Amino acid sequence: MMQQTLDELIATRRALLASDDASLEQLRQVDRRLLTRAERGDAASPLPDNLAEGSLLPLASLPVDEATLWLEVAVSIGGVRVRPALDALAKEPGGESLSWWLAANYPGLSVTREFPEAPELQVLAARAHWRRGQDDKLPQPWKEWAAVVDGHKELSRPLVETLWDILPADARVEGFASWKDWFYLLMVGAHDDWQLWMVNWLLAEVDTTTTVEAMGVSCARRFLSWLEAIGAGTGLDGNEDVADAAERELRWLMGDRRGRQQEPSPFGYQCWGEILRDGHGLKPASWQKRFTALPMGFRERCWYWSGQQINGSPWSLFGGQWCVGD
């Protein structure tokens, strides 16, 4: 069997990441081959021959998923002094995004830089400080965002609208972060009524397909009947794309067996056919098994629900790492 080139391995992992049927183990198999090639030295690798002395700045010219992947590969195979490498990246215009991405996704690293001005980087910086329990170092409105996400403060419409003004859905971004990274974290922890408000509010700001996604991401059972109606073509736009999106969210909520769980409250939560918590506020079920068991196309949602417990991103080397049990 002919060995895949690095470009072919990258293309394979992209296809796996986008698949609603591929498994985490399939991604890890590809990444083991990719890491082995990098360790042995490959002419097509974007990494410098001497990691200890070479610059990682050229990675900033790659697509986001490749840039962050190779950054993790460089750290994994050794030879990179992480702190100096991060400092060097942060000082270069093209490397600032990579540096903040690493800080946001790996809380073991220290954050010594000033809060950035670029909206996309603000999301990364807010996440970086939030994961380290450094909410006091955040400017507003991000300090309030962190307090709401942590459950220390009630959600408010002004907060959502202020953050939307900073980073809305139509903002031009590099791909390191988006509006979903702040919006969905607020939504999954919100009270039932606030979740309903956020979905209705979102409908006026984004397309219907994205609003349907938000219904699913919430894991709220109250949206099951809505999604079933949309999937049948009797709700909202009634077009095929929206119906397909609704079917996807029904799978996310109900799993492949499509069985409804009996529950005394219609305001409970479920994912993949399993109750997360009921309407009486029971502790959510563990997301650790979902982190490894969910199809690749759905795994990003683990970061919205349990982002404090995961190192890396959905497209990280080996699919990220669960770092703390709940």
Q: Tell me, letter by letter, the H, E, C secondary structure of 276-313.
A: EECCCCCCCCCCHHHHHHCCHHHCHHHHHHHHHHEECC
**65-69 average pLDDT score:** 92
Higher-pLDDT residue of 48 and 228 is 228
Higher-pLDDT residue of 77 and 31 is 31
Provide the 8-state DSSP code for 322.
E
- Largest separation between any pair of C-alpha atoms in the chain: 62
- What would the two tokens of residue 317 be? 């080397």
pTM exceeds 0.75: yes
Q: Is the pLDDT of residue 280 over 70?
A: no
Average pLDDT value over all residues in the chain: 88
Cα–Cα distance measured from residue 165 to residue 201, given in angstroms and rounded to the nearest whole number: 14
**Peptide bond between residue 141 and the one before it cis (omega within 30 degrees of 0):** yes
Give the model's confidence band at 49: pLDDT under 50 very low, under 70 low, under 90 confident, else very high. Answer: confident
**276-302 average pLDDT score:** 81
Closest among 187, 239, 177, 166 to 209, alpha carbons compared: 239
Using a pLDDT cut of 70, give the percent of the chain over it.
90
Contact 208, 237 (CB under 8 A): yes
**CA 89 centroid distance within chain:** 23
Structure-token match 């907060």, residue found: 159
pLDDT digits (tens, 9 = 90+) for 15-29: 999 999 999 999 999
**Considering only 179-188, 242-251, 272-281, which range has the smallest mean pLDDT?**
272-281
Residue 156: how many other CB atoms lie within 10 Å: 13
Report the helix count and the strand count for the chain, using DSSP H and E.
15, 4
Residues with Cβ within 8 Å of 168's Cβ and at least 6 positions away in sequence, in order, are 179, 205
**245-254 average pLDDT score:** 96
Contact 293, 284 (CB under 8 A): no
- What would the two tokens of residue 66 be? 């490749």
The residue count of the chain comes to 326
Q: Is the pLDDT of residue 264 over 50?
A: no
pLDDT of the residue at 79: 66
Residues with Cβ within 8 Å of 65's Cβ and at least 6 positions away in sequence, in order, are 14, 17, 175, 315
- In this structure, which amino acid lies at residue 106? Y
- Count of alpha carbons within 13 angstroms of residue 230, beta-carbon side: 24
Q: Is the pLDDT of residue 237 over 60?
A: no
